[in-house]
């Protein structure tokens, strides 16, 4: 039986960064379900995508709606959504705001392929075990 690829929604306003995330992920393991450039687009895309993404990578600082607000809205719509914040802002305040928004993980920029895939694999393993 063929293993199902994990569906990923990338939310990132910098095109080079979303391209970098795509290139870092193994195409045998991950399918890019969509790329949103701001929080408003992220919420709309999450609601429209079928099947739902297994995981969302969420930038924090974006125009129109930031990553914290978008995370809150997606989590309100689907409490089982799995969202990892990816940001250059690693202050305790930002981590606290991410945790408050119910994000499932936090990854600092710049990151390595190992950081990214390790974080996603850990979160997806938790999700499959039904744990938070």
pLDDT digits over 67-123, tens only?
Answer: 999 999 999 999 999 999 998 877 788 888 888 999 999 888 888 888 899 989 988
**Per-residue confidence (pLDDT) for residue 1, from 0 to 100:** 55
- For residue 2, name the pLDDT band (cuts at 50, 70, 90): low
Cα–Cα distance measured from residue 82 to residue 53, given in angstroms and rounded to the nearest whole number: 8
Largest CA distance in the chain: 45
CA distance 39 to 132: 23
Count other Cβ atoms within 10 Å, centred on residue 29: 15
Residue 1 lies in a domain: no
| Domain annotation covers residue 104 | yes
Residue 22 within a domain:
yes
Tell the residue number behind the tokens 């974080």, with chain if given: 119
Report whether pLDDT(32) > 90.
Answer: yes
- pLDDT-based confidence at 57, cuts 50/70/90? very high
**Domain residue limits at 78:** 6-128
* Other beta carbons less than 10 A from residue 70's beta carbon: 27
Residue 37's CATH number:
3.40.50.2300
Q: Total domain count for the chain?
A: 1
Count other C-beta atoms under 10 Å from residue 124's C-beta. 17
Rg (CA), the chain: 13
């Amino acid at each position: 039986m063929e293993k199902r690829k994990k569906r990923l929604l990338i939310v990132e306003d910098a095109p080079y960064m979303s391209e970098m995330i795509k290139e870092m992920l193994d195409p045998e393991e991950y399918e890019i379900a969509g790329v949103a450039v701001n929080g408003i687009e992220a919420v709309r895309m999450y609601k429209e995508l079928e099947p739902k993404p297994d995981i969302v990578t969420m930038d924090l600082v974006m125009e129109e709606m930031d990553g914290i607000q978008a995370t809150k809205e997606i989590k309100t719509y689907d409490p089982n959504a799995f969202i990892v914040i990816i940001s250059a802002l690693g202050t305790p305040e930002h981590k606290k705001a991410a945790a408050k928004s119910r994000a499932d993980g936090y990854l600092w920029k710049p990151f390595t392929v190992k950081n990214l895939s390790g974080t996603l694999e850990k979160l997806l393993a938790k999700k499959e075990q039904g744990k938070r």
